[in-house]
Amino acid sequence: MTHMPASRPYHHGDLRAALLTSAERTLRDKGAGALSLRELARDIGVSHAAPGRHFKDKQALLDALALTGYERLIRALHSADTPGLPLPQRLASLAHAYLGFAIDNPALLELMFARKHEPDAQLADAVERSIGSLTHLVADAQQRGELVAGDPERITMVMAASLHGLAALVASCALPAQEALDGLDDHVHHLLHGLTPRRP
C-alpha cells in the first residue's frame, strides 16, 4: 500500500513563501551552513527539483532570505519613526526598533550583513531603504539646527555604524540583550553629545 506524504504547512501557489519560512527556521536553529534547497524541499514535502522554480541556487535563496529580513526591518523602523519628536527621543525610538529586531532575529541580521558579492538591484534598494529613517532624521535635524552641518550621508553612516555595532554585540552574545536595552538611552546620548567633557 502506498502512503501519501504527511500534511505540510504548504499550499499550492505558495511554494516560495513556504521555502523561505522553512529556510528561516533552519537558519535560526542550525545556521546558514545547514541550508540546502534539497533539504528544504524534503521539509515541506515537495520534489527536490521544485525549489529550482524560484531559486536557481543556494545563494539566490540566501539573498531572498536577506531581502525578507530587510523588508521586516524597514517596516519596524518606519513604524517607530515619529518626525515630530525632538532629535534625542526620535533617535532613541529608532534605536529601540533596530535593537529589538536584532534581539529577535540574530541569525537573520548576521545573514543580512554577510554578503560577499554585489547584491542585485532589489536587495541593494532594500539596503538603502533600511537606513532611510536615519537619513530622514539627519536631514530634518540639520534643518532644525539640532545637528551639526555637514555631509548628511557621513552623519547617517556614523549613526548607522554605532547602532549596528551595538546590535552585532547582542547578536554575537558579547552583550546581554537586556543590558543593551537598558543602556540604550545612554548610548544615544553619547552618540549625539560625544564623550569629551564639555567646557564652560
Secondary structure (3-state) at 5:
coil
Task: Say yes or no: 131 and 166 in one domain.
Answer: yes
Q: Report the domain count for the chain.
A: 2
Task: Say yes or no: 181 and 104 in one domain.
Answer: yes
Task: Say yes or no: 80 and 137 in one domain.
Answer: yes
Report d(CA 38, CA 32) in Å as an integer. Answer: 14
Half-sphere exposure of 112 (CA within 13 A, CB side): 27
Domain contains 103: yes
- 3, burial (CB in 10 Å: exposed 0-12, middle 13-18, buried 19+): exposed
End-to-end CA, the chain: 88
SS (H, E, C) 151-189: CHHHHHHHHHHHHHHHHHHHHCCCCCHHHHHHCHHHHHH
Q: Do residues 37 and 64 lie in contact, with contact meaning Cβ atoms separated by under 8 Å?
A: no
Domain limits for position 134:
58-193
Report d(CA 158, CA 14) in Å as an integer. Answer: 40
Read off the pLDDT of residues 102-135 as tens digits, 9 standing for 90 and up. 999 999 999 998 876 677 888 889 989 999 999 9
Read off the pLDDT of residues 44-62 as tens digits, 9 standing for 90 and up. 888 878 877 888 888 888 9
Task: Say yes or no: 73 and 39 in one domain.
Answer: no
Q: What is the mean pLDDT of residues 28-46?
A: 87
Q: Do residues 171 and 109 lie in contact, with contact meaning Cβ atoms separated by under 8 Å?
A: yes
